[in-house]
């Protein structure tokens, strides 16, 4: 995640020199990632993400990412993900999300990027945003 972010955006996602896994987990912003399944499932959510989505890690990593948005907002979310797929990343994402307990919250100034390894293989998409916005 951190390497894809740095390659696409030209700046680090987490401070250089830190253990990247620990830094991603403890970051002050929300960081999430989903895979490339037909109905993509989250495979990563940091501590801040679990707070925002009011969910345990065990439940989060089984959650289809589309369920992070209410049904009326899913078409807008799909349009955004298509832009990311086409352009590599976006840094202007705004949208309403919903937690596992039904709490609605706004994402503002979100960054969403493709997870592409050094060999150019796509592994999914990731996002980061401040919460609360």
pLDDT tens digits, residue range 80-107? 889 999 999 999 998 899 999 999 999 9
Mean pLDDT calculated for residue range 23-33: 96
The pLDDT score that the predictor gives to residue 15 is: 87
Domain ranges of the chain: 2-129
Per-residue pLDDT tens over the stretch 29-78 = 999 999 999 999 999 999 999 999 999 999 999 999 999 998 888 888 88
What is the arrangement of strands in the sheet containing 89-98, beginning at the earlier edge strand? 42-45, 30-34, 122-129, 104-116, 89-98
Token output for 20: 């990247």
Give pLDDT, residue 20.
87
Provide the pLDDT for residue 33.
98
User: pLDDT-based confidence at 108, cuts 50/70/90?
Assistant: confident
Report DSSP state, residue 61: T
CATH 3.30.420.40 fits 2-129, yes or no: no
Record the pTM.
Answer: 0.94
């Amino acid at each position: 995640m951190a390497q894809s972010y740095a390659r696409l955006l030209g700046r680090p996602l987490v401070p250089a020199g830190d253990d990247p896994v620990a830094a991603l987990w403890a970051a002050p912003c929300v960081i999430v990632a989903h895979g490339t399944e037909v109905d993509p499932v989250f495979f990563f959510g940091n501590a801040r993400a679990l707070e925002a989505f009011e969910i345990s890690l065990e439940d989060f990593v089984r959650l289809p990412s589309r369920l992070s948005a209410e049904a009326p907002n899913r078409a807008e979310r799909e349009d955004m993900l298509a832009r990311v797929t086409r352009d590599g990343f976006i840094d202007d994402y705004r949208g309403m999300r919903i937690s596992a307990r039904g709490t609605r919250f706004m994402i503002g100034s979100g960054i969403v990027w493709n997870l592409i390894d050094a060999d150019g293989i796509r592994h999914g998409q990731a996002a980061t945003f401040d919460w609360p916005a």
